[in-house]
Structure 1
Amino acid sequence: MTDQTPGPGTPDEPAAGLQPFLHDACVTLHAPSFTVSRPDGALRCGADGFYHGDRRALSRLEVSAGDVPLAWVGGGTEGADRASFRTVLRGVAESTPDPAVVLTRTRTTGPARLTETLRVVNSGRLPARVSLTVTAGTDLASMEQVKSGRRRPLRTAVAGDGELCWPESRAGADACTVRLAASAPGAQLDAALGQFRYDLKLAPGESWETELVCTVENTAGDLFPAPRDGAAVPWAAPGLHSRDGALDHWVRQAHADLRRLLLADPEAPDDLFLAAGAPWFATLFGRDSLWAARMLLPFGTELAGSTLRVLARRQGTAVDPRTEEQPGKILHEVRGAALTLPGDGGGPDVELPPLYYGTVDATPLWLCLLHDAWRWGLPAEQVEALLPHAEAALAWMRDFGDADGDGFLEYVDTTGRGLANQGWKDSGDSIRFRDGSFADAPVALCEVQAYAYEAALGGAALLRAFGRPGAEEWEEWAGRLKSRFREAFWVADEHGRYPAVALDGAKRPVDSLTSNLGHLLGTGLLDEKESALVVARLTGPDLDSGFGLRTISDRFPRYNPLGYHLGSVWPHDTAIAVHGLARAGFPGEAAQLAAGLVRAAASFDGRLPELFAGYGADESRHPAPYPASCRPQAWAAGAAALTVQSLLGLAADAPAGVLTVAAEVPEAFRPLRLSGVRVGGAPVGITVTADGTPEVTAPEGITVRTAPSRLG
């Protein structure tokens, strides 16, 4: 191994120890592999690399032409797993000011395989001579090392027949070998520098091409492999055609990204789920996978069914303080090795075991998904097979989720090295009082009570429908939760009443105003007047940025538009609020938030990131990125499907053969036509005419109920 550690020689190379930025990265993926590069296609700094699993197989892949200046002139992603980049070789074979020689770099990312085709074309009138060099390298860094900004030295390659090879000599389950082969003959290989060199002579109109193929050989196999070749995508492709091209493009890009985020359960390879996102979270996360599957329910129940089974196989069965496992609990995340992350504010490092259960909301969300999937038509035999897991999840809410017996679900990190906050806003500084002080554990989050309320009622409906005991008990439990929530969570400021984001360990309401309120709407936890108060807060300019909901009001003393959970905008969070607004009977407000998401999606070329900055539409025509955000992220992509579902007011009762369409589509999106909807597996087509009238085509056996639009 030689010390070729790259230094901060370029403006986009972060200083050692800083998390790399991703806002200008080009990401192509086919889980469990993905490629992160500069906009010009080069892998050269920061988080750039070709990854397989949680290892960086290539950290450098650059093309140079001696002293010839290279000028990138365009390109980027094409779908999810492909990208192309064009670069002009300045001054080569030029007889006029027009460029003559262009390098095109075409990329395809596949499971454990990166393919790059380099093509040089001389379109000038003079012959061209080019000394082309491909420089490659790898540090075999773990994702933990990359994310923390810890640099590692590049390894020395071994030259073979037309290839460079980086074998990992150490023993271990994750030991791997990386190979990079070039198809064109005549390369001069330099193993010490990791280079292929070509001396090209191109006549006018002539071209040259080589294919670079990087493969990863892992001795242990994949923690979660890609779906089998030929495996069907577990939802129908949404076909959307509307008056707004940005909405249509968002849906198409989201579908492409979600397809390539699919992973398989090695214990049951036909069961697929969505990895949370690339690059940081390309694995199984309970909360993320459940929300993404729930968002896609109108397009089929197959993903929901398989996601439920994947998590049920790993449902907690014992009490283990080290991993925070408890009987009936649904996991937080799974990785191939323990994960260490820097602590917030100089505190102790966070150390998560490979199988970690530190989440308070995944268990009720699992129950919500099972109930909703049943309503959309998950086959009865699949639902029934999961009911023992549902009963265990319900029991967890009562026996472990409510550890102190006050009737609320709460969390506390008992290890001292796990996640201090265990809701979806799981950064260490996310749950604060209005004065900026931190909430002491155990913490009961407002949205988790809404999930638990839905889960209890949904669980009761399932138990009753399948002839199992306990339905009345859980209906009564939900009723008590609703009453206690009304008594304990509501606070007031100079603008009126609103629910606190949480209760702290002393049962004091944590009174900051947050986007979490959107998750309460439409769940049944609030009455009509309470919902109206929440809606007024969500749609105020301090939370609604014009591109989506800020995670916290910009009047909060610690508000930071680039704060991970203290001012940024998360698309999935806003989409959940849009859905809640539609369900609660506030179509105008739902349309307002939905339009903001569509504007944001257009600015990110249809691929909404995990989160972006909270700067408002009154400050800029385009949202500003959060520099270290994952893109794509499963629930950010799923937000497109949930937004369309919300605007169309789709709700299903497949056991009764009923589909409700209460379309409230804004005029800017009409006319609109949607295909791909499935109720109990049967296809449904929906059109909303220019005047807002819904027209639905459904097969025999499906009763369609429509409602007139109130938007006009």
Structure 2
Amino acid sequence: MSATELQPFLHDARLSLATPSFCAARPDGRIAEGADGFYHGDRRVLSRLEVGAPGVPNAPVATADGADGHTAFVTVLRGLAESTADPATTLERRRELHPGRLVERYTVRNAGARTARLRLEVRAESDFAAMDTVKAGRTGAPAVPEAEPDGLRWSLGPLTAVLTLTPAPDHLDPATGTLRYDLELAPGQSWQAALECTADHRDGDLFPAAHATPWTEPRITGRDHALARWTARSHQDLRGLLLTDPLRPADTFFAAGAPWFLTLFGRDSLWAARMLLPLGTDLAAGTLRTLARRQGRAVDPASEEQPGKILHEVRRAEQHLDTGSHLPPSYYGTADATPLWLVLLHDAWRWGLPADQVEELLPNAEAALDWLERYADADGDGFLEYVDSTCRGLSNQRWKDSSDGIRFRDGRIAEAPIALSEVQAYAHEAAVRTADLLEAFGRPGAAHWRRWARDLRQRFRDRFWTEDADGRYPVVALDRDKRPVDSIASNLGHLLGTGLLDETESALVAGRLTAPGMDSGFGLRTLDAATAGFNPLGYHTGSVWPHDTAVAVHGLARAGLHDAAAPLAAGLVRAAAAFDHRLPELFGGYPRDRYARPVPYPASCRPQAWAAASAVLVLQALLGLEADAPNRRLRVRDRLPAGYESLRIDGLTVAGLPIEVETDHTGAVRMRAPEGFDVTAVR
């Protein structure tokens, strides 16, 4: 890989989001390099958008993020109209992002004592680069614009971009994409203009934007708290990640994250919807139905589609990744999305998804169960495995999907077929929970799937547990030769609360997760720090993923291990505060006692759906909140850990009805449940 083909860094980029569009820019607002651009539907519409006065030094002095894709940038135009050392002339750039439309409003102000004379230039370019091209560190060929009376137009096949300025520019040079104004501002005078760039695809959007939020807004009040600010910012970011299914526009789901994954991802969309269940079931229903419509119907080796299988991701065109992989537009290479779909259906039912909507999806659930039994265990050993049968797809087909994501303690990379520990846990939970659904709705098969889960649990206990100097623990996976992949990794956290482990085993896992090698102080490392090959900036080999830690926190809480869950939850709250409460996809796994703030992973998505939704899952875990709407029952902890006293929590719901929670000055919990619900308080 050459120096010009490195994945662009994003840690200092300013991202504005309005799916299926987003904008990435320099801290001063310029769209100028790397992954910068105005994007729509996985294509870069503008690869350059710079505003300034030639020959006049720019000094950025302020940036402010507003709600829903609004950002403001202020730059001093140094030397203009200055009579003292004080700055006199400023350029304010206010950006608004809407689906398919970028708006910028420019204001030049002269607060000096002299007249400011300047030529203001707007320079714009478009390369229509596909997302996989940008992610690989390449650019598209610049498109040649056509001149419009008040701007420029670019076209490439079905794609069109139109940029207009109001008032019309004084000069326009389509060859260089430059639009100019000649300005003369007296002392105290200001000047304004507005730019608008619209993007259009002849065939429409692959997944259009949503116009309403299908969940309630969570609110934490009573005293200033970092969890409240993380929750509020996450709510805002999640609204920006919302997409709809064009086959049924009422159904909404989350795009995985910006910039790289702004589309439907099976596991990401499922996990994020599951995390938001305490805020309502409409999002979960939309996610389940959107994926059910695309559930596998046939055996297609090229896309890895199989009957009953839930897909991995959907794009408009084939992706050519820098790893050499070629993923078809609809790609099914995932081992975990199918059991996660089943678990979400069950959990949504428990949180109050109406019975008719659950029943509508039961044939899809039965097809998914059939996939677990007929296709997921390719070699018949009783475990679910994955392998890239195409030699062109993803070598690791679970959330740690990088090629080096599964490795032994000595650093060797495991070879597929791989039976992953958490995939067995998801499958066990899916079988047990779906058996409950089948039984509740009078459908056959519940006894069979409970036996299937019981047998899987025993096989897991026999084959996946090993021992080192610190005692027993479950290994990450079995490799192609059925050897235990003996590293200690965050995968352990995904086993908790699934029913795969007993009480003693859960306690052993908790001890591993909270040890210094795993707990960075800002969340769980993906790989223990003592493992050969550990890299604190490794994508899946030492970094911290917020959703990964949140899943472990929730699993610990479900297992009754609240003392182990509390410090991990506190680490995520601290990390969120350090990132202005917008947690990224991942960050560095450096220890907190070495760096007071988490170290960014430079190419991380931000926002990322499951990182943002983790705020709600952590809140649910701290509360120990569990719902059984069909039987009109709720469970909650009687007391929260230190640091969460004197809070009021609104916006939680069950079966569409509000739940109100308060903690007093001692942390004791008071819940006001909907009428007819019984509440059990637990320690």
TM-score by length of 2: 0.98
Residue 97 to residue 526, structure 1, CA distance change in 2 (3 Å): same
Match of 2:170 in 1: 187
- 1:62-73 equivalences under 5 Å are 62-73=50-61
2:481 is matched with: 506
Amino acid at match of 1:217: D
Equivalent in the alignment of 1:5: none
Give the equivalent residue in structure 1 for 2:280: 300
Q: What is the letter of the counterpart of residue 395 of structure 2?
A: A
Counterpart amino acid of residue 271 in structure 1? D
Q: Give the letter for the 2:116 counterpart.
A: A
Q: Which residue of 2 aligns with 1:10?
A: none
Deviation per CA, 1:667-692, whole angstroms, max 9, x where unpaired? Answer: 22322211111111111111111211
Matched residue, 1:203: 186
> Of the candidates 309, 315, 322, which is equivalent to residue 289 of structure 2?
309
Secondary structure at the aligned position of 2:264 is classed as: coil
8 Å contact kept, 1:101–1:121: yes
Q: Which residue of 1 aligns with 2:312?
A: 332
Matches within 5 A, 1:357-436: 357-436=332-411
Q: What are the within-5 Å matches in structure 2 for residues 139-538 of structure 1?
A: 139-168=127-156, 170=157, 175-227=158-210, 231-241=211-221, 243-343=223-323, 349-538=324-513
Q: Distance in 1 between matches of 2:501 and 2:193?
A: 62
Aligned to 1:539: 514
Q: 1: CA distance between counterparts of 2:638 and 2:143?
A: 58
Q: What CA deviation, in whole Å up to 9, does each residue of 1:23-77 have, x standing for no partner?
A: 1011001100000000110000000000000110000000121211110112142
1:36-55 to 2 correspondences below 5 Å: 36-55=24-43
Please tell me whether the aligned partners of residues 607 and 631 of structure 1 are also in contact (alpha carbons under 8 angstroms): yes
Residue 661 of structure 2: aligned partner:
686
CA RMSD of aligned residues (A): 1.2
In the alignment, is the contact (CA less than 8 A) between 1:44 and 1:60 conserved in 2?
A: yes
Report the alpha carbon displacement of residue 590 of structure 1 after superposing the two structures with TM: 1.0
Structure 1 position 79, deviation (Å): 3.0
Matches within 5 A, 1:556-635: 556-635=531-610
Superposed displacement of residue 156, structure 1: 2.2
- Give me the whole-angstrom Cα distance separating, in 2, the residues matched to 1:616 and 1:632: 23
**One-letter code aligned to 1:69:** P
- The amino acid across from 1:106 in the alignment is R
Q: Unaligned 5+ residue runs, structure 2?
A: none
The aligned residue for residue 111 of structure 2 is 123
Q: How many angstroms does 1:524 deviate by? A: 1.4
Question: Alignment partner of 2:103: what SS?
Answer: strand
Once residues 364 and 682 of structure 1 are traced to their aligned partners in structure 2, the CA distance between those partners, rounded to angstroms, is 28
User: What SS class does the counterpart of residue 667 from structure 1 fall into?
Assistant: coil
Instruction: Rate the CA distance shift 1:575–1:669 in 2: closer, same or farther, 3 A.
Output: same
Alignment-mate amino acid for residue 257 of structure 1: D
State the shift of 1:441 in Å: 1.5
Rounded to whole Å, the distance in 1 between the matches of 2:227 and 2:159 is: 42
**Amino acid across the alignment from 2:630:** P
Structure 1 residues 133-173: Cα deviation after superposition (integer angstroms, max 9, x where no partner): 111101111111111112233222211111111122x4xxx
Q: What is the identity, as a one-letter code, of the residue corresponding to 2:61? A: V
Aligned length: 682
* 2:88 maps to which of 100, 110, 121: 100
| Secondary structure, counterpart of 1:276 in structure 2 | strand
Offset, 1:707: 2.8
Deviation (angstroms), 1:642: 0.5
User: Is this contact kept in 1: 2:640–2:668, CA < 8 A?
Assistant: no
Amino acid at match of 1:49: G
**Alignment of 1:674 onto 2:657:** no
Letter of the 1:318 counterpart: A
Residue 60 of structure 1 corresponds to which residue in structure 2? 48
Which of 103, 106, 124 is 1:136 aligned to?
Answer: 124
Take 1:161 and 1:372, find their aligned partners in 2: how far apart are those partners? 56
How far, CA to CA, are the matches of 2:351 and 2:491 in structure 1?
26
Listed one character per residue, the Cα deviations across residues 349-378 of structure 1 (whole Å, up to 9, x for unaligned) are 111111110000000000000000000000
Please list the CA deviations of residues 620-673 of structure 1 after superposition, one character each: whole Å capped at 9, or x if unmatched.
Answer: 110111111111110011111101111111100001111111155332232221
When structure 1 is superposed on structure 2, of 616-625 and 241-250 the one drifting more is 241-250
Rounded to whole Å, the distance in 2 between the matches of 1:336 and 1:408 is 34
2:23 is matched with which residue? 35
| Alignment partner, residue 553 of structure 1 | 528
- Structure 1: which 5+ residue stretches go unaligned? 1-13, 344-348
**What SS does structure 1 have at the residue aligned with 2:374?**
helix
Contact 1:518-1:576 at 8 Å conserved across structures: yes
Q: Deviation of residue 186 (structure 1)?
A: 4.6
Cα contact 1:103–1:119 (8 A) shared by 2: yes
Secondary structure of 2:560's counterpart equals: coil
Corresponding letter in the other structure for 1:213: E
**d(CA) in 2 for partners of 1:152 and 1:315?**
34
Cα deviation for residue 242 of structure 1 reads 5.3
TM-score for the superposition, normalised by structure 1: 0.94
Identity, in percent, stands at 60
* Aligned residue in 2 for 1:4: none
Farther-moved stretch of structure 1 (468-477 vs 234-243): 234-243
Query: Contact 1:95 / 1:126 at 8 angstroms: preserved in 2?
Result: yes
Relative to structure 1, the CA distance from residue 663 to residue 329 in structure 2 (aligned partners, 3 Å threshold; closer, same or farther) is farther
SS of the residue aligned with 1:336?
coil
Contact 2:644 2:667 in 1 (8 A): no
Aligned match of 2:100:
112
Q: Does 1:91 align with 2:91?
A: no
Deviates most, 501-510 or 177-186: 177-186
Distance 2:232 2:183 in 1: 40
Supply the AA of the counterpart residue of 2:313.
E
Give the letter for the 1:153 counterpart.
A
One-letter amino acid matched to 2:33: C
Match among 634, 642, 659 for residue 634 of structure 2: 659
Cα offset, 1:124, TM superposition = 2.1
Give the Å deviation of 1:429: 0.8
Q: Distance in 2 between matches of 1:635 and 1:76?
A: 25
Cα offset, 1:244, TM superposition: 4.7
Is 1:648 the counterpart of 2:629 in the alignment?
A: no
Counterpart Cα distance in 1 of 2:269 and 2:254: 6
Contact 1:582 1:649 in 2 (8 A): yes
Return the alpha-carbon distance in structure 1 between the equivalents of residues 297 and 506 of structure 2: 38
Report if aligned partners of 1:447, 1:519 keep a CA contact under 8 Å in 2.
yes
Secondary structure class of the residue paired with 2:422:
helix
